[in-house]
Structure 1
Amino acid sequence: MARIDYYFATISPFTYLAGPRFADLVDRHGLDVTYRPLDIMALFPRTGGLPPGERHPSRLAFRAQDLPRQARKAGMELNLKPAHFPTNMAPSSYAVIAAQQTGGGDVAAVIRALSRACWAEEKDIADDQVIRAALEEGGFDPDLADRGMLAGAEEYSRNLEDAVQAGVFGAPFWITEDDQRFWGQDRLEDLDLHLQGKL
Structure 2
Amino acid sequence: MAHIDYYFFTVSPWAYLAGDRLEQIATEAGASIAYKPVHPGGIFKAGGGLPLNERPQSRQDYRLQELERARKKTGLTLNLHPAHFPTNPAPSSYAIIAADKAGAGDLGALTHGLMRACWAEERNIAEDEVIRDCLTAAGFDPGLADSGMLTGAETYERYTEEAVAAGVFGSPFYIVDGAERFWGQDRLDDLELHLSGGL
Q: Distance in 2 between matches of 1:9 and 1:70?
A: 18
Alignment length, in residue pairs? 199
Q: Distance in 2 between matches of 1:45 and 1:178?
A: 22
Counterpart of 2:189 in 1: which secondary structure? helix
Q: Distance in 2 between matches of 1:87 and 1:176?
A: 30
Matched, 1:83 2:83: yes
| C-alpha contact 1:96 1:110 (8 A) present in aligned 2 | yes
- Per the alignment, do residues 178 and 160 of structure 1 end up closer, same or farther by CA in structure 2, a change over 3 Å counting? closer
Counterpart of 1:33 in 2: which secondary structure? strand
Matched, 1:73 2:78: no
Shift of 1:42: 2.3
Shift of 1:27: 2.1
The residue aligned with 2:14 is 14
Matched, 1:128 2:131: no
| C-alpha contact 2:8 2:36 (8 A) present in aligned 1 | yes
Q: Distance in 1 between matches of 2:64 and 2:14?
A: 13
Moved more, 42-51 or 78-87: 42-51
**TM-score of the pair, normalised by structure 2:** 0.97
Counterpart of 1:122 in 2: which secondary structure? coil
Q: Distance in 1 between matches of 2:94 and 2:186?
A: 27
Q: Distance in 2 between matches of 1:109 and 1:31?
A: 17
**TM-score of the pair, normalised by structure 1:** 0.97
Uncovered stretches (5+) of structure 1, i.e. residues with no partner? none
Q: Distance in 2 between matches of 1:20 and 1:75?
A: 13
Q: Distance in 2 between matches of 1:100 and 1:30?
A: 19
The residue aligned with 1:161 is 161
Shift of 1:41: 2.2
Amino acid at match of 2:42: A
Which consecutive segments of 4 or more residues in structure 1 shift more than 3 A? none
Counterpart of 1:139 in 2: which secondary structure? coil
Counterpart of 1:19 in 2: which secondary structure? coil
Shift of 1:178: 5.2
Say what the alpha-carbon RMSD is for the aligned residues.
Answer: 0.9
Structure 1 residues 97-176: aligned runs within 5 Å: 97-176=97-176
| C-alpha contact 2:6 2:35 (8 A) present in aligned 1 | yes
Shift of 1:3: 0.8
Counterpart of 2:174 in 1: which secondary structure? strand
Matched, 1:3 2:6: no
The residue aligned with 2:94 is 94
Amino acid at match of 1:17: L
| C-alpha contact 1:19 1:108 (8 A) present in aligned 2 | no
The residue aligned with 1:197 is 197
Uncovered stretches (5+) of structure 2, i.e. residues with no partner? none
Residues 26-63 of structure 1: CA deviation (Å, up to 9, x unaligned): 22222211111011122101111001111111111111
| C-alpha contact 2:5 2:178 (8 A) present in aligned 1 | no
| C-alpha contact 1:170 1:183 (8 A) present in aligned 2 | yes
Amino acid at match of 2:30: G
